[in-house]
């Protein structure tokens, strides 16, 4: 049974689908800064190399314990990603995004060994390397896969797989990210870290310009 746990053990979430529907390494500013912020507040450190092991999971789960300890934050006002975290230990549990259409969530809990029992596919891509400084890029561990799957921006193979990912996902009846957000009273926008909103435009903000 796939489980997400926060580091302090207050929150435990059991996944309806015990495998991921996509997996890549995300180097984007928003993810890295989100984990950085949580770490500033006492959470686990993010990965050493600004490249976060990310699995997409079905948006269908059960909160075994700790619902009252779960909070949510946006990196900045109108940000398109909502990150759910444990208010006691600032472990980031998973994230929702409008493009996920209620069917999947993105989980970066592997950054602090917070995922157990999940069947994970091999890493499919490394993306948003353009968000890294030259020094950060040099410090990345070598990419073991096809060099074509290292992307400056969003991974083409992620976009290509999106319809199939949504198909493989599901919107939980018992609990899902939207229901949880309602139950915990919405997301907060921290006002104590300008760095959270100092990144390049997020994917969704770039889409109209690209379209």
Of 116 and 173, CB closest to Zn ion: 116
**Minimum distance, C-beta of residue 202 to Zn ion, in the bound complex (Å):** 9
The continuous run of DSSP H or E covering 40 comes out as helix 29-40
Of 24 and 173, CB closest to Zn ion: 24
Instruction: Report the interface residues with Zn ion, using CB under 5 A.
Output: 6, 8, 10, 26, 28, 31, 86, 88-89
**Minimum distance, C-beta of residue 87 to Zn ion, in the bound complex (Å):** 8
Structure tokens at 14: 């059991």
Q: Which residues pair with 192 in a beta bridge?
A: none
**Minimum distance, C-beta of residue 191 to Zn ion, in the bound complex (Å):** 22
**Side-by-side strand order, sheet with 92-97:** 70-74, 81-86, 92-97, 104-107, 52-58, 22-26, 126-127
**Minimum distance, C-beta of residue 73 to Zn ion, in the bound complex (Å):** 15
Of 5 and 103, CB closest to Zn ion: 5
Q: First CA to last CA across the chain, in angstroms?
A: 40
Q: What is the CA radius of gyration of the chain?
A: 16
Of 34 and 169, CB closest to Zn ion: 34
Any long-range contacts for 143-146 (C-beta under 8 Å, 24+ apart)? none
Structure tokens at 142: 């070598």
**Minimum distance, C-beta of residue 173 to Zn ion, in the bound complex (Å):** 26
Of 104 and 173, CB closest to Zn ion: 104
């Amino acid at each position: 049974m796939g489980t997400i746990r926060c580091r302090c053990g207050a929150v435990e979430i059991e996944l309806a689908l015990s495998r991921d529907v996509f997996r890549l390494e995300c180097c984007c500013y928003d993810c890295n800064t989100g984990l950085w912020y949580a770490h500033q507040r006492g959470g686990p450190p993010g990965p050493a190399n600004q490249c976060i092991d990310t699995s997409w999971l079905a948006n269908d789960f059960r909160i075994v314990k700790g619902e009252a300890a779960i909070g949510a934050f946006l990196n900045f006002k109108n940000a398109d990603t909502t990150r759910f975290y444990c208010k006691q230990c600032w472990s980031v549990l998973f994230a929702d995004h409008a493009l996920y259409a209620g069917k999947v969530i993105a989980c970066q809990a592997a950054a602090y060994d917070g995922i157990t029992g999940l069947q994970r596919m091999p890493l499919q891509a490394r993306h948003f390397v353009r968000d890294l400084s030259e020094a950060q890029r040099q410090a990345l561990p070598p990419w073991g896969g096809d060099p074509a799957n290292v992307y400056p921006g969003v991974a083409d193979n992620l976009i290509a797989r999106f319809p199939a990912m949504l198909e493989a996902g599901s919107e939980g009846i018992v609990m899902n990210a939207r229901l949880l957000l309602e139950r915990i009273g919405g997301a907060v926008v921290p006002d104590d870290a300008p760095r959270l909103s100092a990144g390049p435009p997020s994917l969704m903000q770039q889409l109209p310009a690209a379209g």
